[in-house]
């Protein structure tokens, strides 16, 4: 044990010595490493200096070669090669050390000065000579000479000058010389002249965009687009101002009815002009936006934009667009005046009916008025200006609820008196079997001559048909305009955020329709009141009819009907008349109202009569006969109008309290009140039950 402890103590004593030796070794190794690292760094510096020296030598040799060749290239008019020599000199100029071969630098500096002057001079000459190839050649040399901005401006000047000359020639060709109209001039020469300007710009964009972007960068093509827009302003405003001046009489609204056709043509061309400008505006901004998307340093581009320019496309709002907005404002006012005058003319001057055609149920009023209104609204949609569309839609709606409704109501009022007097003669109710017009005698004056003018104001049926046609046309008008709107204003278009404004305006047509529907319903009631003069005598037997009858009397009534048969016959004559002179919708509503009023009349009579069982059977027979007639002549369901009468029949045909108990125990909703039910059962004089028994069983 002592031996082991002694050995371990000896080893522990050797540790400090080993540690000192290890420290000395590490210090020596670190020193060697530092020395080697210093030598490596020194060697790197030397290598870098050698590399820089070699590059400088290469640059100097290259500059000397450039100096030797540049003047030769200029002398031989190899300007492209000379520009490349200058560009290499400019690229290395900042890195040249002081004391560089002054002769070489002086030569290249002089070459740069001479070449810049030559390029400017030759470019101007090519522009003056309209040498497109020369312009393109020398425009490309501005960039390597460090004159990119100047080159772009020169290029823009050339493009503007070319565009101006072409546009002036096209405008003159389209519009002719001052005060002289070309023989072959189209229907919209100003719009075509404007279109030729826009087409020329589109051609320039297609021809020059790639070259400009490659030589000057995409940000400089935006400058070119601005130059094109400036020229578009000049040429476009020139066309629009001439258009406004040549049609000053229209835009000042100093036109007569005889000139309405010309006014319509001016409005059509105004809409076309506005459409072309809006389409061009959308196109050119789309082009610029796609170019801006290619710019790498977008932030720098946006910061350098002039005031009032959009950061998305780098373009300003153009003067042409503002001028067109002024034109649109004038257009809306003229369109409104044109609309009102045209509708008034359709109402007061051109309205007429055909006295020889029994199938012609309407006059010309509604067709002409709605043709004008649809043309107005469709024309506004083609402007591609949403504010104009909404304004015209509002104007059309105002004309419908204003001038047109007033005309319809006035015609109905005036014609109702004439029709009522004419229809008071029973012979006029019968439809001719020889195919003559059922209203033929209505169209004649006291001397038997045809009235003139023959308008809706003289025929209540035609006025009613006009009103119903107006309701039908409103739906068609709304649908047509909405389809056109979706075509010209796509859901993802520039005005997508304003679509709700149009929807709100067009929905007003629905409110106008509801107002006209109320007028139609009211007029159907008035018409029924006119017709009831022939139906009232057929209801008078009902007042005298006794339903407290015996079996023998019931049998006689089955053969000699006391009421229903005659009533149905007369009602059918009335139905045949209105079916011949009225549209299906109006005729249907009158028959529906006739059925409803007939039911109330019979209900009232039934509640005032006494019944026997056989009388109840006769009453049920009468109700079923009349219901069958109205059902056969009506397109819409109307059996529900007879529901109370059928309940009356069910109650009156009861024979015992047990049957009453069974009937009242059924789960049903009674339309008759408990008081009415009690009164009916008490009117059955042969029904054996006390008042208390009946009250106990009736629904509460």
DSSP states of 324-375 as a string? HHHHHHHHHHHHHHHHHHHHHHHHHTS----TT-TT--S-SHHHHHHHHHHH
Q: What does the H/E/C string look like for 466-515? A: HHHHHHHHHHHHHHHHHHHHHHHCCCCCCCHHHHHHHHHHHHHHHHHHHH
Distance of alpha carbon 33 from alpha carbon 277, whole angstroms: 78
**Which residue in 98, 101, 66, 97 sits closest to 83, CA to CA?**
66
Sign of the alpha-carbon dihedral angle for 407, 409, 413, 419: positive
- Residue 579, number of CB atoms within 10 A of its CB: 17
| Crossing angle between the packed helical segments 613-633 and 643-652, to the nearest 10 degrees | 160
Contact assessment for residue 101 and residue 60, using Cβ atoms and an 8 Å cutoff: yes
DSSP classification of residue 667:
-
- CA dist 354 and 352 (Å) reads 7
For helices 2-75 and 79-93, give the axis angle rounded to 10 degrees. 140
Q: What is the pLDDT of residue 39?
A: 74
Q: What is the pTM of this model?
A: 0.77
CA 290 to chain centre: 27
Rounded CA separation 109/86 (Å): 8
Cα–Cα distance for residue pair 306/603, rounded to 1 Å: 85
What pLDDT digit, counting tens, does each position of 611-668 carry?
999 999 999 999 999 999 999 999 888 889 999 999 999 999 999 998 898 888 887 8
The per-residue pLDDT for 56 is 45
582 touches 461 (CB < 8 A): yes
Contacts with 552 (C-beta within 8 Å, 6 or more apart), sequence order: none
Query: Distance of CA 138 to CAs 89, 120, 221, 395, 542, Å?
Result: 20, 8, 17, 58, 108
> Running along the chain, 700 residues long, what does each successive block of 10 average in pLDDT?
61 74 82 77 67 49 57 66 67 57 65 71 73 68 68 75 81 68 69 90 83 73 84 91 90 75 92 93 89 82 83 87 94 94 90 91 94 95 94 96 95 95 93 89 89 92 96 95 93 80 93 95 96 92 93 94 94 96 96 96 95 95 96 90 95 91 85 92 89 84
What pLDDT was estimated at residue 700?
A: 74
How far from 621 is each of 21, 211, 564, CA to CA, in Å?
Answer: 137, 95, 9
What is the biggest distance separating any 2 CA atoms in the chain, rounded to whole angstroms?
Answer: 165
Residue 257 has a pLDDT of: 65
- What gap in Å lies between CA 135 and CA 215, rounded to an integer? 14
Amino acid 117: pLDDT: 77
Check residue 335 and give its pLDDT.
94
Whether the Cβ atoms of residue 680 and residue 652 lie closer than 8 Å to each other: yes
- Per-residue pLDDT, 654: 92
For 9, 13, 161, the CA distances from 16, given in Å and listed in that order, are 13, 7, 97
**Category of 280 on φ-ψ map: left (φ > 0), alpha (ψ -120 to 50) or beta:** alpha
The token pair at 598 is 């007939």
525: tokens are 């009631």
Phi first, then psi: what are they for 363, rounded to 5°? -95, -175
Angle at 131 between CA 128 and CA 133, to 5 degrees: 145
The tokens for 236 are 């476009």
SS (H, E, C) 56-123: HHHHHHHHHHHHHHHHHHHHCCCHHHHHHHHHHHHHHHCCCCCCCCHHHHHHHHHHHHHHHHHHHHHH
How far apart CA 172 and CA 189 sit, in angstroms, is: 10
Backbone CA torsion sign across 621, 622, 628, 631: negative
Check residue 65 and give its pLDDT. Answer: 56
The DSSP 8-state label assigned to residue 640 in this structure reads G
Contact 615, 570 (CB under 8 A): no
CB atoms within 10 A of CB 366: 24
* Alpha carbons 472 and 321: distance in angstroms, whole number: 39
Contact 269, 190 (CB under 8 A): yes
d(CA 615, CA 628): 20
> Residues 86, 95, 215, CA angle at the centre, nearest 5°?
40
pLDDT of residue 297: 81
Residues 6+ apart with CB under 8 A from 629: 568, 571, 572
Between the CA atoms of 488, 493, 496 and 499, what dihedral angle is there, to the nearest 10 degrees? Answer: 0
Which of these, 505, 428, 468, 694, lies nearest to 582 by C-alpha position? Answer: 468
CB 408 within 8 A of CB 463: yes
């Amino acid at each position: 044990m002592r031996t082991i402890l002694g050995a371990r103590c000896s080893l522990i004593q050797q540790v400090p010595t080993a540690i000192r030796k290890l420290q000395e070794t590490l210090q020596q190794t670190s020193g060697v490493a530092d020395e080697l690292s210093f030598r490596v760094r020194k060697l790197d510096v030397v290598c870098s200096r050698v590399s820089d020296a070699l590059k400088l030598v290469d640059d100097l040799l290259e500059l000397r070669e450039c100096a030797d060749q540049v003047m030769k290239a200029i002398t031989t008019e190899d300007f492209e090669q000379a520009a490349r020599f200058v560009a290499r000199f400019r690229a290395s100029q900042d890195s040249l050390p002081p004391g560089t071969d002054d002769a070489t630098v002086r030569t290249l500096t002089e070459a740069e000065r001479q070449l810049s002057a030559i390029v400017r001079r030759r470019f101007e000459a090519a522009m003056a000579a309209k040498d497109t190839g020369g312009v393109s050649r020398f425009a490309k040399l501005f960039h390597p000479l460090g004159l990119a901005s100047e080159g772009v401006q020169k290029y823009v000047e050339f493009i503007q000058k070319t565009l101006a000359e072409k546009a002036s020639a096209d405008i003159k060709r389209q519009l002719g010389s001052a005060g002289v109209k070309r023989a072959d001039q189209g229907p919209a020469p100003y719009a075509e002249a404007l279109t030729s300007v826009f087409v020329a710009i589109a051609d320039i964009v297609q021809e020059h965009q790639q070259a400009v972007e490659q030589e000057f960068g995409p940000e400089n093509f935006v400058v070119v687009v601005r130059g094109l827009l400036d020229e578009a302003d000049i040429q476009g405003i020139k066309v629009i101002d001439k258009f406004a001046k040549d049609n000053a009489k229209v835009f000042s609204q100093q036109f007569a009815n005889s000139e309405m056709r010309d006014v319509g043509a001016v409005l059509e061309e105004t809409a076309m002009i506005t459409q072309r400008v809006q389409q061009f505006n959308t196109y050119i901004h789309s082009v610029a936006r796609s170019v801006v998307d290619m710019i790498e340093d977008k932030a720098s581009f946006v910061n350098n934009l002039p005031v009032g320019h959009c950061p998305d496309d780098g373009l300003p709002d153009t003067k042409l667009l503002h001028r067109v907005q002024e034109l649109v404002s004038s257009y809306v006012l003229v369109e409104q005046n044109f609309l009102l005058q045209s509708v008034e003319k359709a109402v007061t001057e051109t309205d007429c009916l055909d006295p020889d055609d029994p199938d012609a149920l309407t006059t010309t009023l509604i067709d002409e008025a709605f043709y004008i209104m649809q043309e107005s609204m469709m024309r506004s949609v083609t402007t591609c200006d949403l504010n104009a569309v909404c304004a015209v839609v509002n104007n059309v709606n105002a004309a419908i609820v204003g001038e047109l409704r007033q005309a319809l109501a006035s015609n109905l009022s005036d014609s109702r008196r004439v029709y009522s007097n004419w229809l008071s003669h029973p012979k006029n109710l019968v439809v001719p079997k020889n195919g003559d017009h059922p209203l033929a005698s209505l169209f004649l004056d006291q001397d038997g001559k045809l009235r003139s003018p023959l308008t809706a104001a003289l025929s209540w049926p035609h006025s009613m048909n006009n009103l119903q046609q107006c309701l039908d046309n409103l739906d068609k008008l709304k649908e047509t305009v909405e389809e056109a709107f979706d075509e010209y204003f796509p859901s993802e278009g520039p005005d997508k955020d304003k679509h709700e404004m149009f929807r709100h305006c067009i929905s007003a047509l629905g409110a106008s329709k509801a107002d006209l529907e109320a007028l139609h319903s009211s007029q159907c009631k008035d018409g029924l009141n006119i017709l009831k003069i022939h139906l009232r005598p057929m209801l008078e037997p009902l007042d005298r009819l006794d339903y407290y009858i015996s079996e023998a009397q019931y049998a006689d009534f089955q053969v000699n009907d006391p009421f229903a048969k005659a009533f149905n016959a007369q009602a059918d004559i009335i139905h045949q008349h209105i079916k011949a002179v009225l549209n299906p919708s109006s005729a249907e509503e009158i028959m529906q109202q006739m059925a409803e009023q007939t039911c109330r009349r019979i209900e009232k009579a039934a509640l005032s009569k006494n019944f026997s069982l056989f009388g109840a059977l006769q009453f049920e027979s009468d109700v079923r006969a009349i219901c069958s007639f109205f059902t056969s002549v009506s397109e819409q369901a109307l059996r529900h109008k007879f529901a109370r009468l059928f309940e009356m029949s069910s109650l009156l045909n009861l024979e015992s309290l047990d049957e009453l108990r069974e009937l009242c125990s059924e789960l049903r909703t009674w339309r008759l009140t408990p008081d009415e039910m009690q009164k009916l059962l008490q009117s059955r004089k042969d029904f054996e039950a006390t008042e208390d028994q009946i009250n106990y069983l009736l629904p509460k």
